[in-house]
Structure 1
Amino acid sequence: MTHALTLPPGLIVGAPRSGSGKTTLTLGLLRALHRRGLSVQPFKCGPDYIDPAFHERAVARTSYNVDSWAMRWPLAATLMSKAAEGADLCIAEALMGFFDGVSLPGQWGNGASADLAAATGWPVILILDVSGQSQTAAAVARGFQGLREGVTIAGVVLNRTGSERHIRLASDAMAAVGLPVVGALPRTPTIILPERHLGLVQAEETEALEARLDALADFVEAHVDVGRLAGLALSGTVTVEAPPAVRPPGQRIALARDAAFSFVYPHLIKVWRSAGAEIIPFSPLADEAPDPTADVVWLPGGYPELHAGALAAASNFKAGMRRFAETRPVHGECGGYMALGAGLVDADGARHEMLGLLGLETSFAVRKMTLGYRKARLLAACALGEAGRSFAGHEFHYASVTSSTDEELFALTDSDGRAVPSGSSRRGLVTGSFFHLIDNAAL
């Protein structure tokens, strides 16, 4: 049975490429609107753990990922509708270049941020890096207009501008192609956030984050007509079927949650809870063991390599995990997967003893990036479901597996349908993989 869902007015911040200033504008805009007393619901297009955490801190509302390749449309639409309840405005930050995706379609698109604009009717605010150009920027913006049916470019923010003449030349050219310029951000080396190998440093690690967010808001307020920009937002009505049933990995889920294990998608937690599961957080870095009354332990991804010494010395955590795994399932994703192994070699070449629940050795000594969408098919029954069950998600890591003595958990294919190394293990009740789950409903 289908039903209609109404979405509050929304905007999508997009750009021709990564590094154009999407995150700067999004965070500054979110905090500026929040300071004006508006309730703003943030979203992030595509698979990304870092940006949503900053969104949340900017507006005190959980930011959710929406992904057209790995997430079914009924799940995405219902998630957006429920998350935006009570919001005055929705702001979604795009991923990479606005039309960039993979070659073959997934659930309801190819992973491009444009899929979300077409599906919701939310207009796009295009941020353009105009350093080294002026009128030519209008040709870039004009190329966005009409490229895809259902996608509307509502306004432009110029970024990395120079003189007033530079701004005037670019703005006049934009007006000639029918696009209003609603802001011009000058070049500045001071409004930046720290970076790390997987992107931005996590929100909880960023020094004086509140002051940084306020500085971003001040910067945007000074150079963008925030009220005019917000006035370009439009609401949308989407028609969807009921979202597919989701089976949580357990009724009571002990979830590792601290600076070493923070990469779990908020929508998964929301979906698990809506299916009746209880989430019981614990901190391995605080040497806490999982709740012994839980049904399953879930170790998310994160940065265990940065805390490998502390994890190796966390005797209570390690003992509790080993006791738990004797009788109940344990699953680890990416960083959690590495922590389940026998040892982890950090970037300096030092080996740290991990839990030893899997016969896995991983290393950061020689970095090799693995990145992309994945479909995963279970080769054996586990907490995720029965053998043969398939899921959609992604991989993103720099670690290498130097040895593994266990059977594989998944058979993986990439977004082109080609088989790729499984990056997974199973031993008894313990399972793990570099694969990050996005849609928990079986395909």
Structure 2
Amino acid sequence: MKRFMVAGTHTGVGKTTITTGLMSAFKQKGLTVQGYKCGPDFIDPTFHSVVTGRKSHNLDSYMLREQTIRNIVSKYSKDVDLSIIEGMMGLYDGVSFLSDEGSSAHISEVTETPILLIVEAGQKARSIAAEVLGFQQMNPRLKIFGVIISKVSSVTYYELLKGAIESVCNTKVFGYLPFHSSFKLPERHLGLIPAVGDSDWDDTVHQISKTLVQTVDIQSIYDYLNTPPIPSAKSNYEIQSTVKIAVAYDAAFHFYYEENFEILRQHGAECVYFSPLKGEIIPSDCHGLYIGGGFPEHFASQFSNKVKLDIKDRVEAGLPVIAECGGFMFLAKELIDGQGNKFDMVGILPAIARMNEQLQAIRYIELSPSPHNHMISNVHNIKGHEFHYSNMDMLDSLPPAFFASDHSLVGYIYKNVIASYVHLHFASNENIAKQFVRYCKHHNSLQT
């Protein structure tokens, strides 16, 4: 159950590049590798999954309880040789300037995972040692067992930086990543995911991995690790499927927390995946619909009228639906992309989704259901995350789905539809999934 965390001194230091390269390098050595990502990111776990061939899982100490985080790591690390957790932002960056809550450091402490710190060469000399030393001393309970230096211009420069760090910090520098423009992964912004898995992306990852094998002492990293097993609570669930929930899953809709599917299954749902982008309609034997975020604006012209009409008819007939972010946009009347082009969407919600160049929202959020929310009620401390470049122009009023902790209204209710920009994390309160499954089952009994 060996594991380590790749954490950085700041955003942009090269965490994802190095994490992905290391995963590939270890896999080429014949190891089974499991990936995890700190925070609510949907992009980096996709990188991990493509490289390792295993679904990567999010670890978020704001949205999830500490024991839940330990359970996730324990569960998915049981049958692997090595688990690699990729940090978020800088090691100590989280939801507060005054504590480690929500940070990679918090995840490291909760899971007793040693840290491989990525520090950027920049134009530093001996000061790079002070930087590493500061990260070590910020929280002495953490174990920073080694360093990789990124964006290094020459071997000579690397040796000088390595000597500075090792002479002061009592930690090993395992290697470096050269500064090279071709090592940059695609921008983690809208439009990224459809490129994952294509030849250019595969070639980039292969190049990074090939280089790291030459410039990083991969074997020594693995040999160093002697991580203790993580205690986890045993599940009391006896999984027995009682309903089928259709899940829209393709290049247009794929922003989901993997745990959400597992929790739905634990409460009696069979997840049936279908692709609106390929023209597939909701399977006729499904009793609910879960449609998550993604990039519907990139594929707006490709959604067939058959798909849109099928979803509209099923929703109007009372099908229970949770729609998040991109799914929320898809259920609108119309979508206007960044160039001003207009596209008809499903037309369930009286709204126009409008893309913007500037980020419209990025935040954690804590919710409680509104009195209008008859699918999910009396459930508190629901946590989720928003990240979107679009805004929704409502053409008519609809009752709110949730109240945020600041008492603002969040999302909308239409018939049996809950729609909002929030990516709900069901593990923050499993009653979300439990009540949704129960409602789908109840709706099915009424229909039959």
- The TM-score normalised by the length of structure 1 is 0.90
1:167 and 1:159 map into 2 onto residues whose CA distance is 9
Provide the secondary structure at the position in 2 that maps to 1:23: helix
Structure 2: gaps (5+ residues): 432-448
- Identity among equivalent pairs (%): 30
Counterpart of 2:10 (choices 1, 13, 17) is 17
Aligned-partner residue type, residue 176 of structure 2: A
Q: 1:57 deviation in Å? A: 1.3
- Cα distance between partner residues in 2 of 1:183 and 1:257: 39
The answer as to 2:223 corresponding to 1:231 is yes
Offset of residue 339 of structure 1: 0.6
| Greater shift in the superposed pair: 286-295 or 334-343 | 286-295
1:118 corresponds to which residue? 109
User: Is 2:332 the counterpart of 1:341?
Assistant: yes
Say if 1:300 and 1:335, in contact at 8 Å, map to a contact too. Answer: yes
Q: Is the 8 A contact 1:343 1:354 kept in 2?
A: yes
Alpha-carbon distance in structure 1 between the residues aligned to 2:239 and 2:30: 38
Task: Identify if the C-alpha distance between structure 1 residues 216 and 104 changes in structure 2 by more than 3 Å, giving closer, same or farther.
Answer: closer
Per-residue CA distance 1:124-169 (angstroms, 9 max, x = gap): 0011111211221111100111321421110010111123331122
| Among candidates 363, 366, 391, match of residue 382 of structure 2 | 391
In 1, the alpha carbon distance for the partners of 2:81 and 2:43 equals 24
Which of these residues, 60, 64, 67, is aligned with residue 71 of structure 1? Answer: 64
TM-superposed deviation, 1:204: 4.0
CA distance in 2, matches of 1:263, 1:365: 19
Q: Is the 8 A contact 1:296 1:383 kept in 2?
A: no
* Aligned mate of 2:40, from 36, 40, 47: 47
Q: Which residue of 2 aligns with 1:26?
A: 19
Gap regions ≥5 residues in structure 1: 1-7
Matched, 1:316 2:306: yes
Q: Retained in 2: the 8 A contact 1:261–1:335?
A: yes
Q: Superposed, which structure 2 residues align to 1:237-386 within 5 Å? A: 237-239=229-231, 241=233, 251-311=243-303, 314-325=304-315, 326-365=317-356, 367-380=358-371, 385-386=376-377
Q: Which residue of 1 aligns with 2:138?
A: 147
CA-to-aligned-CA distance 1:148-207 (integer Å, 9 cap, x gap): 142111001011112333112211111112121100211101112222535854564644
Looking at structure 2, the residues matched to 78 and 280 of structure 1 have their Cα atoms a distance apart, in angstroms, of: 25
TM-aligned CA distance change 1:98 to 1:299, over 3 Å: same
Residue of structure 2 aligned with 1:135, choices 126, 138, 158: 126
**Conservation of the 8 A alpha-carbon contact between 1:364 and 1:400:** yes
- CA–CA distance in structure 1, aligned partners of residues 356 and 227 of structure 2: 49
The one-letter code sitting in structure 1 at the alignment partner of 2:362 is L
1:230 maps to amino acid: Y
What is the identity, as a one-letter code, of the residue corresponding to 2:313? R
Q: Which residue of 2 aligns with 1:166?
A: 157
Distance 1:125 1:368 in 2: 31
Residue 42 of structure 2 aligns to which amino acid in structure 1? Y
428-437 or 159-168, larger mean C-alpha shift: 159-168
Taking the aligned partners of 2:43 and 2:182, their CA distance within structure 1 comes to: 20
Rate the CA distance shift 1:366–1:123 in 2: closer, same or farther, 3 A. Answer: closer
Letter in 2 for 1:354: M
Q: 1:98 aligns with which of 69, 91, 97?
A: 91
| Secondary structure, counterpart of 2:247 in structure 1 | strand
What amino acid is aligned across from residue 296 of structure 1 in structure 2? G
- Kindly tell me: are residues 324 and 389 of structure 1, through their superposed partners in 2, closer, same or farther at Cα, counting changes over 3 Å? farther
Encode CA deviations 1:303-323: one digit per residue, 9 max, x unaligned: 001111112xx1111121122
3-state SS of the aligned residue for 1:117? Answer: helix
Q: Rate the CA distance shift 1:306–1:267 in 2: closer, same or farther, 3 A.
A: same
Match for 1:22: what amino acid? K
Query: 1:289-330: per-residue Cα shift (whole Å, max 9, x none)?
Result: 10121111111100001111112xx11111211221112212
Q: How far 1:390 moved relative to its partner?
A: 4.0
- The equivalent of 1:3 in structure 2 is none
CA displacement at 1:82 relative to structure 2: 1.1
C-alpha separation between the residues in 1 aligned to 2:72 and 2:195? 23
**8 Å CA contact retained: 1:389, 1:442:** no
CA RMSD of aligned residues (A): 2.5
State the partner residue of 1:428: 415
Give the match's secondary structure for 2:89.
Answer: coil
Cα deviation digits, residues 93-148 of structure 1 (max 9, x gap): 00001100112999xx6210001111122110011111211221111100111321
Distance 1:439 1:115 in 2: 21
In structure 1, give the amino acid aligned to 2:387: F
- Cα displacement (A) at 1:385: 2.1
Alpha-carbon distance between aligned partners in 2 of 1:244 and 1:410, rounded to the nearest angstrom: 30
Q: Secondary structure at the match of 1:172?
A: helix
Structure 1 contact 255–299 (Cα < 8 Å) conserved: yes
- Report the AA paired with residue 305 of structure 1: E
Between 1 and 2, higher relative CO (CA 8 Å, sep ≥ 6) is seen in 1
* Cross-structure match for 2:425: 438
CA contact (8 A) 1:284 1:317 kept: yes
Name whichever structure is richer in helix by fraction: 2
Cα 1:91–1:258 change in 2 (3 A) is same
What displacement does 1:342 show? Answer: 1.0
Question: What is the rounded CA distance, in whole Å, between the counterparts of 2:415 and 2:324 in structure 1?
Answer: 17
